């Protein structure tokens, strides 16, 4: 079972991440570390597209890919670009509580009504769209998903340090997911 490690001081950051861009991310966001100046990205952040999340990090500190549930499966070319061209060696995958991609099927009717009423789709087209794509984006448990996604990406990019993190929407704090 995974557990969350709260980050309230530098010593809370596990040694594997301390003194790395992942540790710096945690220091900037949770601990109010004064911003340094960066001309190149230090890491890639994969996080949910949810509008309630905002990271406290300096300009140019990271590439950020936002996708539902922090699912980077369909963004792998962008991940490869950040690694190969951007030279990043660290990835922070950030899941969060109250994620809309969890139990996605429960939102099917709302999803269809929204596409019909807001986007002007037919009901049939909206239903087909949901049926075809929802299984690809459903993540189940957000914390478990971010750990599985980290493990999947570690196999693909074995020299890259990949950290599963968790964002608490109410407190605007990051935790480490201890695997």
Task: Give the domain ranges of the chain.
Answer: 3-102+141-178, 103-138
CA torsion 95-8-159-74 (nearest 10°) is: 10
Residues annotated as binding site? 96, 99
Point out which residues pair with 165 in neighbouring strands.
94, 176
Residues annotated as binding site for Zn(2+)? 96, 99
Give all strands (DSSP E) within 19-146, no chain letters.
43-47, 62-66, 90-96
Q: What is the pLDDT along the chain (179 residues), one digit of tens a residue?
A: 679 999 999 999 999 999 999 999 999 999 999 999 999 999 999 998 888 888 999 999 999 999 988 999 989 999 999 999 999 999 999 999 888 888 888 999 999 999 999 999 999 999 999 999 998 888 888 899 999 999 999 999 999 999 999 999 999 999 999 98
Architecture of domain 3-102+141-178: 3-Layer(aba) Sandwich (3.40)
């Amino acid at each position: 079972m995974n557990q969350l490690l709260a980050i309230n001081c530098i010593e809370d950051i596990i040694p594997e991440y301390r003194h790395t861009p992942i540790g710096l991310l945690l220091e900037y966001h949770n601990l109010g570390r004064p911003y340094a100046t960066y001309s190149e990205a230090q890491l890639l952040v994969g996080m949910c597209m949810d509008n309630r999340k905002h990271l406290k990090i300096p300009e140019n500190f990271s590439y950020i890919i936002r996708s539902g549930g922090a699912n980077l499966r369909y963004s792998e070319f962008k991940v490869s670009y950040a690694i190969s061209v951007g030279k990043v060696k660290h990835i922070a995958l950030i899941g969060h509580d109250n994620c809309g991609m969890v139990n996605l099927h429960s939102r099917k009717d709302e999803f269809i009504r929204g596409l019909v009423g807001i986007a002007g789709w037919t009901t049939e087209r909206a239903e087909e769209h949901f049926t075809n794509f929802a299984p690809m984006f459903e993540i189940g448990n957000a914390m478990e998903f971010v750990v599985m996604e980290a493990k999947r990406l570690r196999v693909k990019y074995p020299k890259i340090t990949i950290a599963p993190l968790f964002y608490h929407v109410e407190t605007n704090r990051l935790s480490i997911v201890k695997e």
